[in-house]
Amino acid sequence: MSGNADQDAARPARPSRRKLMLYAPLAVAGVGGLGFWAMLRGLGDGSFNPRGVPSALIGKTAPEFSLPGVEGLDLPPLSSPDLLTFDRPIVVNFWASWCVPCIVEHPQLMALHRQGVPVLGINYKDRAPDARNFLTRHGNPFTRLGADFPGRTAIDWGVYGVPESYVLDRRGVIRWRWAGPITPEVMSESIVPLIRSLGRA
């Protein structure tokens, strides 16, 4: 790039064009700076929030998908029409047996299950024996479980990584998203109140 630039200068090149090239870093920095400024404005008034991960899907119905079940488990598979069959708020949880935070959140999923909230699992890039093992050891909170071995469905949902959970209302509209393990705090401060209010609506 510049090797050429330096050599060009040795010859009588078109100087005006070369001079314009030298403004390129300034232009790039300027555009970047404006973007950052807009992001900071957005952070201030809440319209831009990379942390809270308000999915683009919030307020929309879940993307279409149809997943097979996990081999060797006596659980029905999961596809998008199933999300509408409950007539009550549901939790969709992406997890994997290789994910340690998933172990952390598992007791909370079990608690939801015991409270009668349908928890639908999507097993992400996992091996069936490992997934079976995991549920045998820690208990099964899932009403239905789909196996997303290639990870396509996770991409359609915009999943950051496992574990990640969504709350859908009875019409299958995504109302809430949480990237990371559901800790007892998240459970008591967000999920339970939300499900209660959605259940009344």
Residues that bind another protein (CB under 8 A): 1-3, 5-7, 9-10, 15, 18-19, 22-23, 25-26, 29-30, 32-33, 35-40, 42-44, 48, 50-51, 53-56, 97-98, 100, 103-104, 106-107, 130, 133, 137-138, 158, 160-161
Distance CA 113, CA 87 (A): 16
Q: Which residues pair with 90 in a beta bridge?
A: 168
Alpha-helical runs (H) found in the chain: 2-10, 15-22, 24-45, 100-114, 128-138, 152-157, 184-186, 192-200
The tokens of 57 are what?
């899907």
Question: Contact at 8 Å (CB) between 119 and 90?
Answer: yes
Q: In this structure, what are the phi and psi dihedrals at residue 144, rounded to the nearest 5 degrees?
A: -135, 155
Q: Which is nearer to another protein, 104 or 194 (CB)?
A: 104
Least Å from the CB of residue 77 to another protein: 24
Q: Which is nearer to another protein, 57 or 75 (CB)?
A: 57
Give 138's contacts (C-beta < 8 A, 6+ positions apart).
Answer: 103, 106, 110
Between 18 and 88, whose beta carbon lies closer to another protein? 18
CA of 179: how far to CAs of 24, 160, 162, 166, in Å? Answer: 38, 7, 8, 9
- Cβ at position 67, least distance to another protein in Å: 21
Q: Which lies closer to another protein via its Cβ, residue 168 or residue 195?
A: 168
Q: How far is the CB of 70 from another protein (least distance, A)?
A: 16
Q: Judged by CB, which is closer to another protein: 44, or 116?
A: 44
Cβ-Cβ contacts under 8 Å for 173 (sequence gap 6 or more): 59, 60, 61
Smallest distance, another protein to C-beta of residue 50, A: 4
Q: Of 162, 169, 123, which is closest to residue 146 (Cα–Cα)?
A: 123
Closer residue to another protein (CB): 28 or 197: 28
Minimum CB–partner distance for residue 54 and another protein (Å):
8
- Nearest-approach distance from CB 171 to another protein, in angstroms: 22
